[in-house]
Amino acid sequence: MRKKDTVRLGLSGLGSFSVVIANAVKRSKKVELVTCFDVVPEKRKATGERYGCAQEKSFEDMVRRDDLDGVLLVTPNAFHREQTELAARHGKHVYVEKPIANTLADGRRMIEACEKAGVVLLIGHVHRRHAGNRKAKALIESGVIGKPVMVEANLSSGQGWDLTPDEFRWRGDDLGCPGGALMTMGIHQADTFNYIFGPVKTVFSLFNKLYIPAPVEDVTTTIFKFESGILGYLGCNFASPRTNWMYIYGTEANLLRTVARVDRRFDVERKQSVDQSTRLELFEKGKNQPQEIPLPIGDPILEQIDEFADCILTGKKAGNGRTFIPEGAGLDSRRHRVRKNRETCGCGSLIVGRM
């Protein structure tokens, strides 16, 4: 029997990260997992048994269900547009894990499809919900650091050594994961930049493939110029020990946000909140020692699932609104090339596009 004021969802794509999403759904009082789908029958069976939900033989069967309000897409990037358009045509709200898509054209079509159907489209950029990033934004807005000057960040991991050439989703083209480490991990920092500092005016990226076995770029450097005039740098690679930091420079003080976590491919159970591993320090002008800023411990994945439910139940707009970067500098996802036309699209998602 359906619970009152509960959003009924289907989960598509049952790889490692689907466990993180499904566990958050289980913790939520606003949603329930009704059914699941994956092209691998064994994964459907395991998920159905673990979470007590139905199993579908196709994504089409899932979105045709009359008892379903929305879908959670945890599928490879290249499938996002097709699945979103199909879900929207059947009146289903859509939550899609970052990035929204591999190309500008696909991202725009997803937005248009959901707007036309009058359904919610929410992109899963969870890092903007982390306590360290939210507190940094609040401190900046309150004037603690004076006026922002520039920002630097890096999000890297040695997980690239586990990626093999036979895993198609890790190819460096639009059918896989163009941009490699930037599209997979660095995009979190890129969305955090957008969240804290606002729209980007121009952006330029350099890519290279140095070490990992998969045929995809494993090191990137990206330079931003924001509409406000401040500048930013984002580094990202798949080949070094894990690092996750952001340094914000202001006219009166600087902020350093670090996250110390074990360097492993996926922590699917997420028994410890990322907020417990986060440290935020304030370096004020004229003081020799930094001040550590206390942070609350939240449940970021649960928060974004609950926000998806709130958008469906109340009609409110998602907290991560749409922002576009106009044409300027950009990148080519092929090795050693640079290409024009890069945008943020949808809910702050950084997209590689061919125009």
Give the pLDDT score at 216.
Answer: 85
256 CB neighbour count, 10 Å cutoff = 17
Query: pLDDT value at position 351?
Result: 33
pTM, rounded to two decimals: 0.86
Q: Are 298 and 131 in contact (CB under 8 A)?
A: yes
Pairwise CA distance, residues 112 & 105, whole Å: 11
Q: How far is CA 146 from CA 184, 295, 312, in A?
A: 33, 21, 39
In degrees and rounded to multiples of 5, residue 156 shows phi and psi of -135, 165
Note the pLDDT of residue 281. Answer: 98
What does the pLDDT look like over 155-189, one tens digit per residue?
999 988 888 887 756 666 767 778 889 988 999 99
pLDDT at position 31 is 98
Beta carbons of 125 and 348 less than 8 angstroms apart:
yes
The predicted structure's pLDDT at residue 269:
61
Written as six digits, the tokens of 143 are 């004037």
Domains, in order of start, for the chain: 7-126 (3.40.50.720), 127-298+320-352 (3.30.360.10)
Strand residue runs (E) in the chain: 7-12, 31-37, 54-55, 70-73, 93-97, 121-124, 148-156, 200-208, 219-226, 231-237, 243-250, 253-259, 278-284, 291-292, 342-345, 349-352
**175: three-class secondary structure by DSSP:** coil
Tens-digit pLDDT string for the chain (355 aa):
456 689 999 999 999 899 999 999 999 999 999 999 999 999 999 999 999 999 999 999 999 999 999 999 999 999 999 999 999 999 999 999 999 998 889 999 999 999 999 999 999 999 999 999 999 999 999 999 999 999 999 999 998 888 888 775 666 676 777 888 998 899 999 999 999 999 999 999 999 999 998 888 899 999 999 999 999 999 999 999 999 999 999 999 999 999 997 666 556 666 678 999 999 999 999 999 999 999 999 999 999 999 999 999 998 876 654 333 223 323 233 223 223 333 333 333 333 322 2
CA–CA separation, 208 and 275 (whole Å): 32
Q: How far apart are CA 103 and CA 57, in angstroms?
A: 28
Give the pLDDT score at 315.
85
In this prediction, residue 107 carries a pLDDT of 94
Amino acid at 72: L
Cβ proximity of 237 and 258 under 8 Å: no
